[in-house]
């Protein structure tokens, strides 16, 4: 045998390796062209809009672009005392343009997010500035409203000078950058987001646990019953799946309201009296009950698909080897269902943490979740950048859960069927 | 060793799943201590049901099963102390070989050292030493099979049940595993109840074979007796090859009877299941018991026409048209190759009456 490996040539004399590569390259290009439309579609309809939306959470160029001269002049200002005349002048000139172009309303809205009370003084300034005379703008502006002489408002303005900001994220966890540039918590009575986050986490975890406790036996039954019964049971599990989410939530409203069927039943069996009917809707209870029912199939289906693959002879083997039914279940059956439990719990948790319709309809004030808050900012305050910041925080929370799960159980162990 | 003849005892056991059809009918079966008994039968004959009743996964509808003279119908499976090897091995896929074997020992709260010792012994018995840390999925089918056998034996059960354990293996592996299991049985003397539908397997391994059909034991005897002396036409048909003649008994004495065949000829046969003349019967004859062109003097001598010749190496199979039976099979040993076996030839076929067993009609 020769020690030197001879290059294999094709009949044309080209090395085989090269001509193979050539042929493969052609295939690769064709494969790429085949998926290219889909890739384009995903980029245009998915990556781009979502990226755009998420970018809003840090994008603060609107204010920066509105007041370019002001921020330029403010660079030298140390922020301790009221700024110099040149800042006032620059601000007047910037603002005049905005008023002339009728864009000053946006600035007022934006500045009001930063500091309450900004809107009214900006509007007043817009009316008064028409009569301003040249020179000494500091005096003239401060005479419009006494808050213009308050250094805090100017500091607030300066805080908006960078093009990018993380202040929305701070707001999302009830923190803000104070006048000294330190990150501190908002006063205790205004920490609404913390409560919302905790409640969302609580409800998502609670719903996941409830779904698991209820879904596991159902999935086991589904996997072990003879065909004709398991089919029927499967339909019972899937039927809610095929019903509109609104219809299901509305039916829970009918069931759970104070004069509803469940309460009537409680009164009838004497659990409660007619005038102490418990409130089960427009609070956490309603959210728990309705969400558990709605998300149950997402737990049952992955569990079922895993349990279906577990041979019944394994349990028998466990018993014949001397394990009590409990030991056989705990040591043999249960560990084999862990991939399904992981998939089901992850699915339910992720769905629950961002759930919107059900808490919006049956949650009331104490049962509304972070997603309702995001919708509120999207629809009513129109603070889209804050909504997008919260959305991104929610997304990172989900990714964190996913990461932890991967560390603990391993994502390869997930089975969805 | 105290040899308890009724170590496992089925006493008038009936089993029905739906309350309409009995899948096991009035089963009486004694298995001695240390014996290797095979339940053999076609699928649906009730053999697996019997095994499951013994293991405790099914309860008898009627009757009682005794293990070492203790009734066990009300004892749950995990307290019976019966090892079992399943058809698909049923190894725990999430445990290593070691953990699989340790499972029955741990639930019995056996100390760590004792556990290690027993597992070592069991693994060396199936020659899998060194495989402790493998997962079942990393083993070949034959190795998984051995682990399953080791696991069923590791906690020293009094009885080991095997439910078609070799069904999923290829032919060569199946044969070597047969010998291996047989040798393990011989060396540790455990009582084995084995279920299979493969007669070769049953004949190779067992001390005694219980042939099941239609929920009943048709015959319980040693492999050679089963083959040589089937008591009814089902057993004769099911075990080995068999030539059949149907006819009517015309004359019967102590150990011989005359049977008039459907084509009018009369043969001499051995009356096994027939009592009086006039009875319809099926006469069964093993292919190797009929000789061609023999010089020995035999009671039945007929001429047949060769319809087919198939060369098998060590022997040649010849299909004859004999006495109206077109599927009469003969096995001619290779040493007699010089004989006149050619398609279409007429040859003389002879056999003794004792080998032609007149059985029931089925």
pLDDT digits (tens, 9 = 90+) for A30-54: 999 999 999 999 999 999 998 888 8
Position A300 scores a pLDDT of 92
Mean of all residue pLDDT scores within chain B = 85
DSSP secondary structure of A97-131: HHHHTT-HHHHHHHHHHHSTTHHHHHHHHHHHGGG
Residues in chain A where the model's pLDDT stays below 50: 1-3
Task: Select from B77, B84, B149, B155 the residue whose CB has the most chain A CBs within 10 Å, as the one to mutate to test that interface.
Answer: B77
Length of chain B: 362
Among candidates B55, B78, B83 on the partner chain, residue whose Cβ is nearest the Cβ of A323: B78
B79 contacts on A by Cβ (under 8 Å): 322
pLDDT higher than threshold 80 for residue B85: yes
Give yes or no for residue B339 having a pLDDT over 80. Answer: no
CATH fold for the domain made of B241-359:
OB fold (Dihydrolipoamide Acetyltransferase, E2P) (2.40.50)
Pairing outcome for strands B300-311 and B315-322: antiparallel
Q: How far is A339 from chain B (nearest CA, A)?
A: 12
Tell me what percent of the residues of chain B surpass a pLDDT of 70. 97
Find all residues with CB under 8 Å of B341, minimum gap 6, and list them: B292, B306, B309, B316, B318, B332, B347
- Residue B82 CA to residue B156 CA, distance in Å, equals 9
Name chain A contacts of B92, Cβ cutoff 8 Å.
314, 317-318, 332
Chain B residues in contact with A321 (beta carbon < 8 A): 78, 83-84, 103-104, 107, 151-152, 155
Please give the biggest Cα pair distance in chain A: 102
Residue A4 in tokens: 């030197």
Residue B3: the pLDDT is 66
> Using CA atoms, how far apart are residues A224 and A237, in angstroms rounded to an integer?
15
All domains of chain A, ordered by start, with CATH? Answer: 1-56 (no CATH), 61-165 (no CATH), 192-413 (1.10.3720.10)
Asked if residue A336 lies in contact with residue B93, where contact means CB atoms within 8 angstroms, the answer is: yes
Q: Summarize pLDDT for B149-196 with one digit per residue, the tens.
A: 999 989 888 899 998 888 878 888 888 888 888 888 888 888 999 998
Burial class (CB in 10 A: 0-12, 13-18, 19+), A291: buried
Please answer yes or no on whether B87 and A313 come within 8 Å at the CB atom: yes
Q: Are residues A359 and A294 in contact, defined by beta-carbon separation less than 8 angstroms?
A: no
Instruction: Report the chain A residue with the minimal C-alpha distance to residue B79.
Output: A322
The length of chain A, given as a count of residues:
417
Residue with tokens 């190795």: B143
Give A240: exposed, middle or buried? Use CB within 10 Å, 0-12, 13-18, 19+: middle
Mean pLDDT for the stretch of residues B193-221: 88
| Radius of gyration of chain A measured on its C-alpha atoms | 31
Instruction: With beta carbons less than 8 A apart as the criterion, state whether A68 and A178 touch.
Output: no
What is the pLDDT, as a whole number, of residue A138?
84
**Record: contact B104-A314, CB cut-off 8 A:** no
For chain B, give every residue range classified as CATH 3.40.50.300: 8-233
Nearest one of A185, A67, A195, A88 to A142, comparing CA atoms: A88
Instruction: Select the more confidently predicted residue: B362 or B11.
Output: B11
For residue B156, the chain A residues in CB contact (below 8 A) are: none
Q: Does domain B8-233 have CATH number 2.40.110.10?
A: no
Average pLDDT of the segment spanning B208-227: 88
**Whole-number Å distance between alpha carbons of B296 and B350:** 9
Q: Which residues of A touch B (CB under 8 A)?
A: 311, 313-314, 316-325, 327-328, 331-332, 335-336
User: In what order do the strands lie in the sheet containing B346-351?
Assistant: B291-292, B346-351, B300-311, B315-322, B325-333
Whether B2 has a pLDDT exceeding 60, the answer reads no
| Structure tokens, B326 | 């077109």
Give pLDDT tens digits for B28-79: 888 888 899 999 988 888 888 888 999 988 888 888 999 888 888 888 888 8
Residue B1, pLDDT score? 45
A184–chain B nearest CA distance, Å:
50
> In terms of C-beta density within 10 A (0-12 exposed, 13-18 middle, 19 or more buried), how is residue B1 classed?
exposed
Contact A313 B55 (CB under 8 A): no
- The pLDDT of residue A415 is 59
B108 contact residues in A (CB cutoff 8 A): 322
Calpha distance B13→B63 (Å, rounded):
4
Residue A325 and residue B78: Cβ atoms within 8 Å? yes
> Residues of CATH 2.40.50.100 domain(s) within chain B?
241-359
In contact, B348 and B292? CB cutoff 8 Å: yes
Identify the pLDDT of residue B338. Answer: 55
pLDDT category at B103 given cuts 50, 70, 90 is very high
Q: How much is the pLDDT for A213? A: 95
Q: Up-side HSE of residue B256: CA atoms within 13 Å toward CB?
A: 8
Smallest Cβ–Cβ distance between B57 and the set A311, A316, A336 belongs to A316
Residue B293: which pLDDT band, with cuts at 50, 70 and 90? confident
pLDDT tens across A280-335, in order? 888 888 888 889 998 999 999 999 989 998 988 899 899 989 888 899 999 999 99
> Is there a contact between B21 and B38 (Cβ–Cβ < 8 Å)?
no
pLDDT for residue A37: 94
pLDDT for res A179: 65
The top-scoring range by mean pLDDT among A138-147, B85-94, B268-277 is B85-94
């Amino acid at each position: 045998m020769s020690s030197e490996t001879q290059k294999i040539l094709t009949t044309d004399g080209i090395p085989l390796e090269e001509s193979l590569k050539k042929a493969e390259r052609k295939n690769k290009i064709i494969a790429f062209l085949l998926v290219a439309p889909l890739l384009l579609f995903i980029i245009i309809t998915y990556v781009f809009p979502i990226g755009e939306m998420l970018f809003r959470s840090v994008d603060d160029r609107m204010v920066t672009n509105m007041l370019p001269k002001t921020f330029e002049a403010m660079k030298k200002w140390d922020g301790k005392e009221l700024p110099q005349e040149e800042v006032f002048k620059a601000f007047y000139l910037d603002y005049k343009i905005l008023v002339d172009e009728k864009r000053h309303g946006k600035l007022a809205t934006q500045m009001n997010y930063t500091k309450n009370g900004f809107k009214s003084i900006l509007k007043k300034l817009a009316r008064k500035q028409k009569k301003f005379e040249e020179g000494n703008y500091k005096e003239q502006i401060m005479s419009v409203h006494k808050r213009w002489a308050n250094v805090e408002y100017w500091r607030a303005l300066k805080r908006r000078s960078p093009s990018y900001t993380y202040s929305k994220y701070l707001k999302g966890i009830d923190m803000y950058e104070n006048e000294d540039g330190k990150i501190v918590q908002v006063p205790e009575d205004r920490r609404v987001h913390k409560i919302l986050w905790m409640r969302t986490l609580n409800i998502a975890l609670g719903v996941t646990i409830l779904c698991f406790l209820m879904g596991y036996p159902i999935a086991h039954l589904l996997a072990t019953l003879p065909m004709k019964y398991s089919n029927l049971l499967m339909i019972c599990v899937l039927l809610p799946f095929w019903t509109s989410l609104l219809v299901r939530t509305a039916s829970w409203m009918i069931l759970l309201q104070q004069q509803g069927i469940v309460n009537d039943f409680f009164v009838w069996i004497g659990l409660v009296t007619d005038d102490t009917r418990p409130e089960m809707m427009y609070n956490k209870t309603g959210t728990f009950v309705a969400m558990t029912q709605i998300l149950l199939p997402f737990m049952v289906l992955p569990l079922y698909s895993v349990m279906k693959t577990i041979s019944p002879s394994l349990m028998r083997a466990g018993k014949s080897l001397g394990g009590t039914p409990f030991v056989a279940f705990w040591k043999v059956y249960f560990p084999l269902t862990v991939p399904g439990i992981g998939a089901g719990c992850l699915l339910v948790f992720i769905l629950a943490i961002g759930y919107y319709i059900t808490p919006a309809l049956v949650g009331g004030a104490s049962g509304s979740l972070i997603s309702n808050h995001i919708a509120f900012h999207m629809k009513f305050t129109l603070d889209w950048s804050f909504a997008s910041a919260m959305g991104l925080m929610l997304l990172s929370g989900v990714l964190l859960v996913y990461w932890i799960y991967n560390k603990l159980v391993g994502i390869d162990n997930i089975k969805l069927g | 060793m105290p040899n308890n003849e009724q170590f496992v005892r089925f006493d008038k056991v009936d089993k029905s799943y739906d309350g309409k059809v009995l899948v096991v009918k009035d089963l009486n079966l004694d298995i001695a201590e240390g014996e290797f008994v095979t339940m053999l039968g076609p699928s649906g004959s009730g053999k697996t049901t019997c095994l499951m009743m013994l293991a405790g996964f099914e309860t008898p509808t009627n009757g009682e099963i005794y293990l070492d003279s203790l009734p066990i119908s009300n004892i749950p499976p995990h307290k019976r102390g019966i090892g079992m090897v399943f058809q698909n091995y049923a190894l725990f896929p999430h445990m290593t070989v070691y953990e699989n074997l340790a499972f029955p020992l741990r639930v019995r709260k056996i100390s760590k050292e004792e556990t290690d010792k027993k597992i070592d012994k069991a693994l060396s018995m199936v020659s899998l030493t060194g495989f402790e840390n493998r997962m079942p999925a990393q083993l070949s089918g034959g190795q998984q099979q051995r682990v399953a056998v080791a696991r069923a034996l590791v906690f020293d059960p009094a009885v080991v049940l095997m439910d078609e354990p070799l069904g999923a293996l290829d032919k060569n592996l199946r044969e070597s595993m047969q010998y291996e299991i047989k040798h393990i049985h011989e060396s540790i003397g455990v009582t084995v109840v084995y279920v299979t539908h493969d007669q070769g397997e049953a004949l190779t391994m067992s001390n005694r074979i219980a042939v099941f059909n239609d929920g009943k034991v048709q015959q319980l005897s040693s492999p050679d007796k089963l083959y040589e002396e089937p008591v009814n036409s089902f057993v004769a048909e099911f075990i080995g090859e068999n030539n059949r003649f149907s006819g009517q008994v015309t004359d019967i004495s102590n150990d011989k009877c005359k049977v008039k065949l459907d084509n009018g000829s009369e043969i001499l046969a051995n009356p096994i299941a027939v009592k009086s003349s006039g009875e319809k019967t099926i006469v069964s004859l093993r292919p190797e018991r009929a000789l061609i062109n023999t010089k020995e003097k035999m009671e039945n001598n007929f001429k047949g026409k060769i319809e087919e010749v198939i060369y098998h190496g060590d022997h040649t199979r010849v299909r004859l048209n004999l006495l109206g039976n077109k599927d009469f099979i003969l096995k001619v040993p290779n040493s007699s190759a010089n004989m006149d076996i050619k398609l279409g030839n007429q040859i003389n076929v002879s056999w003794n009456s004792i080998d032609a067993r007149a059985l029931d009609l089925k």
